[in-house]
Chain A
Amino acid sequence: MEELILKLKNQIIDTLNLDDKKPEDIGDDEPLFGDGLGLDSIDALELIVLMEKNYGIKLKDASEGKKIFVSVRVMADYINKNRLK
């Protein structure tokens, strides 16, 4: 799980162009949206692409994503349970 969390952080940084962040800057339980990392609606859509591209998980829309993209740990947990790749 820890390995997945680290891998996921790197993928998030890469996909969302968070150039001035490193994995250690993102807390496992830090909110991704709102106050924490401050991601926005386009980032949410890009994370939906990330889920499908890297893990074969197809999310229907942004609102389904909202429940999963709470924090890196919640994301990793969901991926563990639902991944096809």
Chain B
Amino acid sequence: MSYIENYSFINESKRTFGFDNNSHSLSDKETVENDFLTSIYRNQNYNYSKFFKMDFLAKNVFLLAENLKNFLPENRNNVGIVFMNNFASFEADVKFEKTISDKNNYFPSPSIFVYTLPNISTGEVCIRHGLKGESSFYVLEKFSPEIFVNIVNSSLIFQDYVLSGWSEFVNSQIKSMMFLVSKFPKKENCEKFDAFNVKKIFETIWKN
């Protein structure tokens, strides 16, 4: 049995982000140069300068986890992260390609290259919060509540908590969510982490 302790979300098309039933909305003014993720960072006054070195995916996963950081247990040795998306590290791939495509201006960038692996995003969260459980990354075409729940539950056999999430690009805008899933629920009325409940939350976040 596993439980949803909390969940966080970012929906660029609705300009919203938050966790559980707390939703923030960003106005036009608060949106920095078409960069919704940085806008969230600034709006929340986060203080983690490494954020600016990250690629799009890493920023996405970082912000989702940041919204759940107060719910993480003290002991992080058995806390892991399993994340999935439908675009791997595409944005970083294109950026890196630009540094090598012109023979006469060939300067491959190491700091961009490191982000051309989607699991760097999950690695960054582990570094930030000291998570020493498992970190895994999967790439799927569409969100599947059943596959998501099965993979996460399989991972949870070997640890106590898993941050698990999904992110996708819909019309060049990011929609994403992350769950803090646990084996031993802290709260009384935790919803079960199953396909039905995950789908319910997914549909709430995703609907336009």
A and B bind: yes
- Give the distance to chain A from B185, nearest Cβ to Cβ, in Å: 38
Stretch at the interface among A12-20, A26-34, A73-81: A12-20
**CB of A73 to closest CB in B, whole Å:** 23
B53: interface (CB < 8 Å): yes
> A19 contacts which chain B residues (CB < 8 A)?
49, 52
Q: A45 contacts which of B49, B52, B111 (Cβ < 8 Å)? A: B111
Cβ contacts B100-112/A at 8 Å (1 or 0 each): 0000000111110
Contact residue range for chain A?
10 to 19
CB-nearest residue of chain B to A15: B111
- Specify the chain A residue showing the minimal Cβ separation from B51: A19
B107-A45 in contact (CB<8A):
no
In the complex, the answer to whether A42 meets B110 with C-beta atoms within 8 Å is yes
Q: Does A83 contact B (CB under 8 A)?
A: no
Residues on the A chain within 8 Å of B201, using CB: none
Contact between chains at B111 and A17 (CB < 8 Å) = yes
Instruction: Indicate if B140 sits at the interface (CB-CB under 8 A).
Output: no
A43 to B114, CA, bound (A): 11
What are 16 A-B interface contacts by the 8 Å CB criterion? Answer: A16-B111, A17-B52, A17-B53, A19-B49, A19-B52, A20-B49, A20-B52, A21-B49, A45-B110, A45-B111, A46-B109, A49-B107, A49-B108, A49-B109, A49-B110, A53-B107
Near A by CB (< 8 A), chain B positions 51-78 give 52-53
Q: Report Cα–Cα, A52/B105, bound state, in Å.
A: 11
Shortest Cβ-Cβ A-B pairs, 7 listed: A19-B52, A45-B110, A17-B52, A17-B53, A46-B111, A53-B107, A42-B111
Point out the residues of chain A lying under 8 angstroms from B53, CB to CB.
16-17
Which chain B positions have C-beta within 8 A of A45? 110-111
Asked if A46 contacts B110 (CB within 8 A), the reply is yes
Nearest Cβ on chain B to A40's Cβ, whole angstroms = 9
Please give 17 more A-B residue pairs, beta carbons under 8 A apart, in addition to A16-B53, A18-B49, A49-B109. A16-B111, A17-B111, A19-B52, A20-B49, A20-B52, A21-B49, A42-B111, A42-B114, A43-B111, A45-B110, A45-B111, A46-B109, A46-B110, A46-B111, A49-B107, A49-B110, A53-B107
Instruction: List B86-130 residues whose CB lies under 8 Å from chain A.
Output: 107-111, 114
> Which of chain B's residues 23-45 have a Cβ closer than 8 Å to chain A?
none
Q: A24 to chain B: closest CB distance in Å?
A: 16
Q: Which A16-65 residues have a C-beta within 8 angstroms of B?
A: 16-21, 42-43, 45-46, 49, 52-53
